[in-house]
Structures are given as C-alpha cells and as structure tokens.
Amino acid sequence: MNNWDQMDPMISLQMIPRKPAASYWCRLKLVSKAKNNTRHSFMLPEQWDDVEVYVPDENKNYTKFITGSNLSDDQKTVPGMFNIFRLYAHYGDSLTIYINFKSNRLFPYSSTGIGKFEVVHFEESLLWYDHYRQNLPHYIMTGILLILFLYYLIIFLINKEVTHLHLTFFFLGLFLNTFNTSNIYAQFQSNRAITVFATSISLLGLFNYTETVLKIKQISLWVHKLNSFVFILLLIVLLTQFGVLSYQYLFEPAIVSDEEPVIGKISNYFTLFVVIILLIQAIFVAIKRVKYANLFLLFYILSIGSQLIPSYPGVWKFGYDHVTSFSYVLLTLSTLGLMLVTAYRLKQLREDQAEKEKAQARKEPNINFWPT
C-alpha cells in the first residue's frame, strides 16, 4: 500500500480489503540461523482468512501452503486450529516467501496473543503443551457454567421462581463469554459482538436478581424507581452497542484505527456505573441487616474481583494460566455463594408460605355440621 505509513495499522480489521482489492500480499525474507534444525514452523494470527503461503524450494519453484481461520482442519496444509506453515532451510539459507491473505472481520480478537502482521517462529512440540495448559481452566469453567445455566433453566421451568429466571440469564451470559474465549472449536475465535451480547445478558440478569433478593422495592420505593429507569437505559445502551458491532462486522466496516468507538465508550462507562450502583445498594442493604444481604455482598465482591484481576497488568508476572485459574476460582466461589443465597431465600419463602397457610387456617370459623 502506498499510504502504509499514514495508515499505521494496529488491528486486523483495518486490513479488510477495499474494492477492487480482494486480498492483500506481503513479502518476507527469512534467514536460517539454526545449526541443528532444518524444519521450521511459523504461525500467523488467527484474524486472517484464506491464507496462501508460497515457499520456494530447491528448484526455485514455489510450494503453496493453505491455511486460514475459516477453513476446517482437513482443508489446511497443516491441520489444527492455528494458522501454521512449515518450511525447510539449512543454516545460512535465505528464503523469500510470499503470503496472500484476507482479514477476518468477524473475529478481531487474538486468542493466541499475536496480531497485526506478526509471524511467529515456534517449536511445535511446545505449542500444544502450552495451549492445553493455558486453556484447561477455560474448558473446566465453560462446563461448570453450562451446567449451572441448564440447572437453573430446568428449575425455573418447574417452579416458576423469578430469581431462577434471572440466574438463568446470568449464567447464560457467563457461559457465552467463557465459551467465546475458550478455543474449543478450531473455526471459532473470540468475537466482540458475542462478548457484548453475553455481558449484556449477564448484567441484566444480575441487575434484576439483585433487586429481587435485596428487596429493594420494600426498603425504598424511590430506589426501586431509579433502578427501573437505569435498567431501561442499560438495555438501550447495550442493544445499541450490539447493533453497531453487528452492522460493522456484517456490512463492510470502514475502520481506520483501533480507537474504541463512541458507543463502546458509553457502554463501558455505563456498565461500570451500573456495577457501582449495585455494589452501593448491596452495602446499604447489608447495613440495614436484610436477610442474606451480607452473603450476597460477599458473592458480589468476589465476582467483581474475578473480572478485575485479569485486567490488572501487574498480575501477569505470575503466568497466564495461574492468573486465569485464580480468577476462575474466585468466580466459582462467587457462584456458590449466589446459589446459597438463592436456596436459603427459596427455603424462607416456603416457610413463610407455610406459616401464612397455618395462620389462615386458624382464622377460619369452626362450623359444626352435626344435627342438634
């Protein structure tokens, strides 16, 4: 591209081909510095679709490797979920390779940690070990959240308890978010639209659940009215952001920088605002000594911590898998606390209903039907 320096690409979405171009080409010169190894493996970011790599052979002909995130394993020259190509070179050999690629506009996030136009030289024997070690917590947590979602869905269908419906949406959103980053399927990479959609479902479910469990309506009517207003605004903001992202991904987006769009910033700030509001209400209700408020507050703090810890740069010195595992431990503890709150609340509701029925029975007159 003639204006490459002005464009200063940072993310793959900037490289969606503009007409009349159907794809992009790049040329790389590789020099082998390995004395004891002739086979070399390279990885391309998973943001690229329909990748063709042309590698010269000894006869100065070119061998074509086919890969790309939209292809199934059997269609790739090197099967697997990653975009990999191999070449053979002796010490001191110099090779010029050509790569033809398309940008994947549906999946802007890089789960492998490489992006832009990086080409990683790696050892294949270590790749899969690191992959499963780092992603095992994702697999386990994805299964746990799926079970919780199905459990509360079935329980809601049986007893029609409204808090179970709220938890169904909450765990559905968490499951979708975790699945979105788990790399369980080779042709499925992290999608920001799914992240926004899943976060919306979780947050809306948690919002309603919090109001019901903490008995906000009984404690303060004006806070209940404020929550209703905030809930409607939250729903509008999240649906707007999801619609904008979907439009960008599906109808030839024109992205020229990696700066967060305005609607994204508004959504992020408003989501943070809602999280803080719920935290303040949980603290307020705990001070009022409402039943289960302390347990809910503990669950809520653990849940926030599980989301904030991975975003804090200083923790990554402990290793990706350790940080992820610790984050999921906190999330698991928070969900257990939430399940306890829900179970105790349901038990209390049943006991109150039983007491109400007994009191009603005592008030009914004792009519004697025997003849005098």
Contact predicate 105/249, CB 8 Å: yes
Contact predicate 48/68, CB 8 Å: yes
SS3 47: coil
Report the C-alpha gap between 212 and 290 in whole angstroms. 12
Which run of H or of E encompasses 263? helix 262-287
Among 312, 297, 296, 307, which residue's Cα sits nearest to residue 330?
307
Contact predicate 104/7, CB 8 Å: no
Contact predicate 328/140, CB 8 Å: yes
> CB burial class (10 A; 0-12, 13-18, 19+) of residue 41?
middle
Among 244, 176, 167, which residue's Cα sits nearest to residue 210?
167
- Supply the DSSP string of 67-136, one letter for each residue: E-TTS-GGGSSS-SSSEEEEEE--TT-EEEEEEEEEE-SS----SSS--TT--EEE-HHHHHHHHHHHHH
Question: Residue 70: what residue type?
Answer: N
Contact predicate 195/180, CB 8 Å: yes
Contact predicate 77/88, CB 8 Å: no
Count each helix (H run) and each strand (E run) in the chain, helices first.
Answer: 9, 7
Please give the torsion angle defined by the CA atoms of residues 134, 139, 145 and 151, in that order, rounded to the nearest 10 degrees: -160
Residues of the chain with pLDDT under 70: 1-22, 104-117, 127-134, 183-192, 248-264, 310-321, 364-372
Report the C-alpha gap between 319 and 317 in whole angstroms. 5
The residue to which tokens 């923790």 are assigned: 315
pLDDT tens sequence across 12-58 = 445 555 555 667 788 888 888 888 878 888 888 777 778 889 988 77
In eight-state DSSP terms, residue 252 is -
Question: Residue 133: what residue type?
Answer: R
Report the C-alpha gap between 139 and 132 in whole angstroms. 9
Token readout for 124 is: 């294949």
Q: In this predicted structure, what is the pLDDT of residue 154?
A: 92
The angle at the Cα of 15, spanning 10 to 17, to the nearest 5 degrees, equals 170
Looking at the DSSP assignment, which residues form a beta bridge with residue 44?
A: 83
Contact predicate 68/76, CB 8 Å: yes
The total of other beta-carbon atoms located within 10 Å of residue 186's CB is 16
The domain made up of 9-122 is a member of CATH 2.60.120: yes
| Cis status, amide bond into 20, omega within 30 of 0 | yes
